[in-house]
Amino acid sequence: MNKGTKEGTEEEKKFVINFNRGSFSEFKKKFDIKQSIYAVRVEEKHYSVLSNNKVLPKSDVYLVDSNLNSEFLNKHNYLLNEKNTKELNLKKLLNSGISIKREDSKKYQIHKFTVSSFLKFINIPALAAGSSIYIKGDKTKFNRKILEIWRCEEAEFMKYHKFVLKKFDQLNETELSEIKKLSNEQIKLIITSNENKLNYIFSGKGYFEEPYCASWLYERGKITELRPYDFTVTTGSGRLKSPTIVIKPK
């Protein structure tokens, strides 16, 4: 959930080092292991069924079952990464993916959709365009471009949002605001009313191979089972150049 930030990277490394030095002994008992259990930091992109491409997965860390010697661990300062997994053929533990949340993080993203991934996940262009439109000021002149970006025909947009007797350019600030609000609410409803979609947003299950789904959440010094929680739907900052629909904690 903090992937790509300097602070997030440091939090992940800190967790892996502490885990491999012996912390979280009670949590380790949840896994049936034959040797010893270690944490590995995820640094690479992995295949997503939704994107049909390699992207950053939901897990920041996963666990392996191996018999690593102290000399190797000391040499690497107890920090293991995916290169080590490949070189040593370490056994990955299923359902061991952990999402690492910084203790001071309050504005992280739960999930971010690109145009193609959103339209594959929720095939309603009028909702994505409705969420992304500008409401007031000079920027409303770009709203036609917003429709184009999200592959939404004007007639389709107006019909979906029940403005069939009005032209797109005639929508006023109040109407645009209501469209945006209702679009975000509808996107949330579609997600929360479908267990598979909800699980994907939070854990990636069904779309990433194990252990690149996040089965666990680490925050405030504790590891707990990752369960969906309340969220809001909003638009990423680059609506015209790099358009996204973003899921954030409420």
3-state secondary structure at position 184: helix
Which tens digits make up the pLDDT trace of 83-142? 999 999 999 999 999 999 876 666 678 999 999 999 999 999 999 999 999 999 999 999
Relative to beta strand 111-113, strand 91-92 is: unpaired
Helix (H) or strand (E) holding 241: none
Does residue 112 contact residue 246 with C-beta atoms inside 8 Å? yes
Which tens digits make up the pLDDT trace of 139-198? 999 999 999 999 999 999 999 999 988 999 999 999 999 999 999 999 999 999 999 999
pTM of the model: 0.87
pLDDT value at residue 104: 61
